[in-house]
Amino acid sequence: MFPVLPGNGRVTQDDLVVGGYFIPKGTQLALCHYSTSMDEENFPGADDFRPDRWIRKDATDRVDNSAPSRSATASGAASAGG
């Protein structure tokens, strides 16, 4: 199974430190959805067809896209990673 798009990109709006790496303001980031989607650490059973993993249990079952470590690469519902 493949993600609906291979990837997308963002440009950082501020200097950031992500995972211990300094990323200066204005850096272009490329996000590879296939790599993150197939990572067993992110999605156990990544090769399995399990549409239920995307069904929210209730209104509070959400991904927090406002976390500082994700602010340069994610924003809003379109950025949900799992």
- Residue that wins the pLDDT comparison between 81 and 32: 32
Residue 37 confidence (pLDDT): 84
Task: Check whether 54 has a pLDDT greater than 90.
Answer: no
pLDDT tens figures, 2-53: 777 888 899 999 999 989 999 999 999 998 888 888 889 888 898 898 888 8
d(C-alpha 7, C-alpha 18), whole Å? 19
Q: pTM (2 decimals)? A: 0.49
Cα–Cα distances (Å) from 23 to 15, 17, 57, 62, 72, in that order, read 6, 6, 35, 27, 10
Residue 41 confidence (pLDDT): 87
- Residue that wins the pLDDT comparison between 57 and 45: 45
